[in-house]
Amino acid sequence: MATSTLAPTAASDDRLDLADMRRRIKAIFIGSIGNLVEWYDFYAYAAFALYFAGAFFPNSDPVVQQLNAAVLFAAGFIVRPVGGWLFGYLADHHGRRGALMLSVAMMCFGSLMIAVTPTYQSIGIAAPIMLAVARIVQGLSLGGEYGTSATYLTEMADQRHRGFYSSFQYVTLIGGQICALLVLLLLQNVFLTNDEIRAWGWRIPFFIGALLAIVALYMRRNLQETEHFEAAKDVAKRTSSLRGLMRYPREVLLVVGLTAGGTAAFYTYTTYMQKFLKLSVGLSDDQTTMVTLGALVFGMCLQPLYGAISDRIGRKWLLIAFGVSGVLFTVPLLTTLQSVKGPFAAFLLIAAAWMIVSGYTSINAVVKAELFPTTVRALGVGLPYALTVSIFGGTADSVALWFKSIGHEQWFYYYLTCMIGISLLVYLFMRDTKADSAMHRHE
């Protein structure tokens, strides 16, 4: 009699577990897909600046045109901390879902604005001003997306697989870069000539970005709010965001410390690597693009694998592995890469670098989210992260190119090693958030 009673109950529990898993996976997919759109739009600007700079900056010197375009790219990083604060406040006080909806809507607006802005020849100085406004809107959006999506993915994941599920933030982040590169390759090699891209074709990727954002917005319209926020929303509404965050100074400093070396390494092997392969290694344009694309795909595949490993051995050991490997092998890797002759050897070396960097990228979001209680989680993740990325991540290109310009390119290798070393000290003395997470305690 007992057996017949237990069997249906066990089957019912299995069905409930399966349904819960499907619900979580669907929410995590929809929550992270906007991240792909955000990063596609953000990097489409960098990928196509070579073609549209002349349309907004009339100076006949192409170097000056590229410099002006680069300044506006940097402006997107400068406003990211403001986005981290604004969207962190919205997510902690009014819900993760609303903040995620607003961030992707703003990215849609910024991308569409770039796509339709007339050239300098048509409206004069208003053209670069409108471009600057669009970049600021995109920067605010991206600054808010990271903390909000990291919080959402972490809260929606079950405790046993939190590292695995949250790793999809960087899967989609890298996926956005891959999509931007693919659009560039298709336009360059299949659909348009270089003159056509320069004349009007550069607008296409921004129209695509706006369309993708609308799709993501539609998918997010019924996004489920997290149980963590629902349980703590009344407390959050009574708490001033910055005042609440100031009660966790150690955690804020931990976010800065554990991010500094990781973000410098990430931007070195993504945005700067294209320039490095072209200027220092001497690969052709096509070889540079294909090596970069292949390395990004390899890095994207590593993220969930490393995230799953962190669920077994803990977050701290993975971060320490990144720190130790980064300190030991950054200089040898970049020095050897500079001297290689072929694209395949370059790909292998960058792939090796990704095996190191993924120890940080795959789990940095979940580690930060696990540091803070629900009431300040999105702000605690987003604001100090955005500040650190603006200082150490967004400047990686500029620092590397400056060392190269004064004839000491290898100094950048040691600079990057020191940055990773600083973060390694943080990893060694911080707690393992998998075992000691704010999400496990009463919030």
Cα Dmax for the chain: 89
CA dist 442 and 440 (Å) reads 7
Sequence ranges of the domains in the chain = 30-221+240-429
The Cα 181–Cα 43 span in angstroms is 9
Name the amino acid, one letter, at 135: R
Look at 233-242, 298-307, 359-368 and tell me which has the smallest mean pLDDT. 233-242
List phi, psi (to 5°) of 240: -65, 135
pLDDT, position 104: 86
- Whether 314 shows a pLDDT value over 50: the answer reads yes
**8 A C-beta contact, residue 384 and residue 256:** yes
Under 8 Å between Cβ of 162 and 153: no
Q: What is the mean pLDDT of residues 135-158?
A: 82
Q: What is the pLDDT of residue 256?
A: 93
Angle between helices 204-220 and 96-116 (to 10 degrees): 160
Q: What is residue 5's predicted lDDT score, i.e. its pLDDT?
A: 42
pLDDT at 59 over 50: yes
Per-residue pLDDT, 138:
85
Token pair, residue 364, equals 């940095």
The set of residues, in sequence order, having a beta carbon less than 8 Å from that of 172 and lying 6+ positions away, is 32, 33, 35, 36, 39
> Helical H runs in 79-125?
80-94, 96-116, 120-123
**Tell me, what DSSP letter sits at residue 159?**
G
What CATH class has 30-221+240-429? mainly alpha
In whole angstroms, give the CA distance from residue 296 to residue 31. Answer: 21
CB 386 within 8 A of CB 333: no
What average pLDDT does the segment 233-249 reach? 68
Q: What is the mean pLDDT of the chain?
A: 82
The confidence score (pLDDT) of residue 69 equals 67
Cα–Cα distance between 72 and 46 in angstroms, integer?
10
Confidence tier at 153 by pLDDT (50, 70, 90): confident
Average pLDDT over residues 108-133: 86
In 169-193, which positions are buried (b, 16+ CB within 10 angstroms) versus exposed (e)? Answer: bbbbbbbbbbbbbebbeebbeeebe
pLDDT digits (tens, 9 = 90+) for 181-234: 899 888 888 888 888 888 888 899 999 999 988 988 888 877 777 777 777 665
Q: With a cut of 90, say whether residue 424 has pLDDT above it.
A: yes
Residue 62 has pLDDT above 90, yes or no: no
